[in-house]
Amino acid sequence: MGKQKGIIILEGKCGDKVYYWHPKYGWLVRNVTSVDADRILTDPAFAVVREHNAQFAQSAMFVKALRAAYYPLFQPLADTRMTSRITSAVVKAIQADPALSPNERRLANGDLRQLIDLNFNKETPLQKILTARYSTTDAAGVRTTTFTPQGARFVKTRAGATHFRLVSSIATIAYDATAMAVHTAYSDYIPTKPGGATAITLINAGTPLPDSFLTHVVGVEYFQETNGVYYPLHAKTGNALAIIAAQKVISPQRKALYKRGAIRVGRHRLAPRIQASVMISQERSPAGVRRAARGHPSPGSPGIPGTASG
């Protein structure tokens, strides 16, 4: 890809070139695409492209809702490629739907576990910052996360940090990404120096939305204490945040509806069968055909109730 290094900075379309600013690579230039947007929307040759665009739009809606749910947590520490990594994982989750056509694939039928172990900052993965082991349990709408130290430390030491804090947050997002519920829990400020480490429990309470996606993130935040005040350190160089769980939530009412529907189907299956048509094609002689016709009038004749006469 061409890169402009001259003293004149151009932006936008100029002839068959487009000049634009990239936040990582600076000023770049590319060729103008030869495919018009209206053609992509209407031309039958681009039907598959439209299906994949619809699939990508579905993933973009969920990613937008996920970002809104965890924005206060990842905003100080996220890297520039965080959104693209989440979008890529969500697209893989949608592609796990067994439906053959991309237009029929839905995230609700896919594999949301593609999001597990996804870090909001690739340079500070949670697996390297958090040395303690953690486990989660669910009971009566309450999700409990227990952190058990390995040795005398919970987290990796960081220069300038005197204390750290653990964070646990869950978010339930509706299938259509129009509603969400978020609950976040923090630990106390814990000294980073080793010694006297005991297990820490964080509780996330709240009733999840019916027919929704549930995601759970865990993170580490570093602080420096001065005169009893805890000042946060630069987040991008040491703090960590990652998704540790992702699953679907189905309401009990819907499960009961599925069960009742199965019972109704069973009753229909055992109901007496009604003959839908009369086979007379096996009668070879004209006399046999006439006898069959007299015994079974045609559907258009006045002899059959509920049908219009021809």
Same-domain pairing of 48 and 29: no
**Rounded to an integer, what distance in angstroms lies between the CA atom of residue 92 and that of residue 88?**
6
Enclosing domain of residue 220: 44-254
Same-domain pairing of 249 and 169: yes
Asked whether residue 108 is assigned to any structural domain, the reply reads yes
Which of 76, 74, 68, 91 is CA-nearest to residue 171? 68
Asked whether residue 165 is assigned to any structural domain, the reply reads yes
Amino acid identity of residue 181, one-letter, is A
Same-domain pairing of 6 and 107: no
Same-domain pairing of 28 and 127: no
SS3 199: coil
Same-domain pairing of 11 and 80: no
**Rounded to an integer, what distance in angstroms lies between the CA atom of residue 101 and that of residue 230?**
54
Asked whether residue 259 is assigned to any structural domain, the reply reads no
Asked whether residue 265 is assigned to any structural domain, the reply reads no
Same-domain pairing of 20 and 139: no
Same-domain pairing of 59 and 203: yes
Tens digits of per-residue pLDDT, 15-59? 888 888 888 888 888 888 767 778 888 888 888 888 888 888 888
Sign of torsion, CA 78 81 84 85?
negative
Same-domain pairing of 71 and 218: yes
Which of 212, 141, 203 is CA-nearest to residue 180? 212
Asked whether residue 309 is assigned to any structural domain, the reply reads no
3-state secondary structure 109-173: HCCHHHHCCCECCCCCCHHHHECCEEEEEEECCEEEEEEECECCECECCCCCCCEEEEEEEEEEE
Q: Which pLDDT score, from 0 to 100, does residue 153 have?
A: 83
**Rounded to an integer, what distance in angstroms lies between the CA atom of residue 54 and that of residue 48?**
10
- The 8-class DSSP code of residue 49 comes to H
Asked whether residue 48 is assigned to any structural domain, the reply reads yes
- Contacts for 176 with CB less than 8 Å, ≥ 6 apart: 61
Same-domain pairing of 18 and 153: no
Q: Which pLDDT score, from 0 to 100, does residue 100 have?
A: 76
Same-domain pairing of 172 and 202: yes
Amino acid identity of residue 286, one-letter, is P
Asked whether residue 288 is assigned to any structural domain, the reply reads no
Asked whether residue 279 is assigned to any structural domain, the reply reads no
Count: domains in the chain: 2
208, 172 in Cβ contact below 8 A? yes
**Rounded to an integer, what distance in angstroms lies between the CA atom of residue 228 and that of residue 226?**
5
Same-domain pairing of 85 and 61: yes
94, 58 in Cβ contact below 8 A? yes
102: part of which helix (H) or strand (E)?
none
150: number of Cβ within 10 Å: 10
Same-domain pairing of 80 and 178: yes
Q: Which pLDDT score, from 0 to 100, does residue 283 have?
A: 38
Q: What is the mean pLDDT of each run of 10 residues along the chain (310 residues)?
A: 64 83 82 79 86 86 94 93 94 87 84 93 93 89 90 86 94 89 94 82 84 93 94 92 89 44 35 34 42 48 44
Q: Which pLDDT score, from 0 to 100, does residue 42 have?
A: 86
Q: Which pLDDT score, from 0 to 100, does residue 261 have?
A: 39
